[in-house]
Amino acid sequence: MRHALLFVLMLLSGLSSAQARDGAVRLDWPEPVGADAEAVIMMRNATGEIVLSIREDLDAEAVTQRMVLPPLPRAAYTIQAGLLQDGRVLMQSHVTPLAGNVGLEIGKQLSRSLAIGFSDIWDCGTERPYHIMQVDDGLELIRDHERLSFEPDPEPDADEDVARFFSADGHFWAQSGNRAILETPEGPQQACSAALFAPLLPLNAVATDLSWGFELNRDDALITLPGIDTQMLATRGLRVSAPRDGSITLQGDPVQLQLTQARCRLRDGDLIYPITAYLTGTEEETTTAGCAGDPRTLLGGGAWQVTALLGQRLERDTLRNLTIEVSGDAISGRGTCNRYVGVARIENSALVFRELGTTRLDCPADLRNIELRFLDALEAVTGFDISPAGILTLRAGPQAILTAERRSAP
């Protein structure tokens, strides 16, 4: 009887949970859209993988859309919405958590100032999306550690609005607006659709010689130029151009900022930045280079396994357990015996790891000593290098204090 009652309670609990997570999302945006625009809702799990994507066509001149949700996957953790047209993201919302299971009725405000980023994200019906980047006249399809290079069709049909690309190993990509076909040598064609750009805001840029600064937020842009007072611009007044060529241009008065996805280093700096910036004054038309983005993004994407500490190679398996994982404002990983967590920040153009705390497992004296030296080394870090081969070196000023490589998947 107890087991039967428990089963009924579990069944009712599961049904109420699924029904409670039904609901709707109301999208609002400031100006009408043209014909053939689509509204998109994307939900991701705690690790950022897409678990649900909903698309609906919009009426011309629409400024709002209410989209009814199906029962949501239990793994749904965040929600984001956007508008697409002709393969471009017109507007999108912030990523927000799906908090609570009761009365799911969500309002999302869409903004043009959020719809900029370097990579197109395409859903091809697989567990993980592809990132599509234009490289010269060709394309690169990137997913996890897989990277495919495509060359354009040498004999395009001028009467067709379809761009075709071929890879050396037999892959084929055909793209028209928001739709594409991916064909692999091993399997059938996959129908692909454009998802949302990876959002770029907020973004800070600074001259390599520190002579200017550009702080771009959702609603305003703060510009510091030599010889004049700091200026505040409304972000909505900036004209944003994001073609599929790996660049973004922000045009305002009195400057233009061009961003390119290429690594950059400040003069005499200890950090690598993911974006190279070029600031051009609209009056004097002088261009100076700078760096932009968050250096911590180059450290993200998975765990690093430490290979050397304070100049000493780590050969024994117990010592090679040392790992580092940076995600946003957090650092975590394993020591020789304990797990640790802490805070990762950029302060005064330096990388700092602070507030490191560990579990308190029993640990032999020799391993505990190495673990303490490892944590002390992390707290001394001010910058890093990543070699062309992908080897990470954490530095304290000019001194290399540890090296690491990406940890292979188990």
Residues 206-226: what's their mean pLDDT?
Answer: 84
pLDDT at 228: 60
**Rounded CA separation 231/102 (Å):** 45
Q: pLDDT higher for 316 or 61?
A: 61
Considering the entire predicted model, what is its pTM?
A: 0.73
Partners of 38 in the β-ladder: 57, 84
* Top CATH class, 17-114: mainly beta
> Across the chain, what does the average pLDDT equal?
81
Portion of the chain with pLDDT greater than 70, in percent: 86
Q: Residue 243 pLDDT > 90, yes or no?
A: no
Band (pLDDT 50/70/90 cuts) for residue 5 is very low
Mean pLDDT for 62-75 is 87
Cis before 202? omega within 30: yes
CATH topology of domain 297-406: Lipocalin (2.40.128)
pLDDT at residue 229, rounded to an integer = 58
pLDDT higher than threshold 80 for residue 298: yes
Range among 98-112, 221-235, 270-284, 338-352 with highest mean pLDDT value = 338-352
In DSSP notation, 269-282 reads -S--BSEEEEEEET
Angle at 96 between CA 111 and CA 80, to 5 degrees: 55
What is the per-residue pLDDT for 327? 85
Whose tokens are 């153009």? That residue is 349
The DSSP line for 126-176 is SSSPEEEEEETTEEEEEETTEEEEEEE-SS--TTS--EEEE-TTS-EEEEE
State the pairing for strand pair 172-176/179-183: antiparallel
Could you give the percent of the chain with pLDDT greater than 90? 29
pLDDT for residue 362 is more than 60: yes
Instruction: Specify the pLDDT at position 408.
Output: 66
3-state SS assignment for residue 408: coil
Strand partners for 123: 193
Domain ranges of the chain: 17-114, 120-194, 203-293, 297-406
pLDDT on residue 181 = 92
Give tens-digit pLDDT for 119-174.
Answer: 778 888 777 788 888 777 888 888 877 888 999 998 887 777 788 999 999 999 99
The better pLDDT of the pair 122, 49 is held by: 122
Region 269-296 average pLDDT: 87
Asked if residue 328 lies in contact with residue 252, where contact means CB atoms within 8 angstroms, the answer is no
Q: For position 22, what pLDDT does the model report?
A: 60
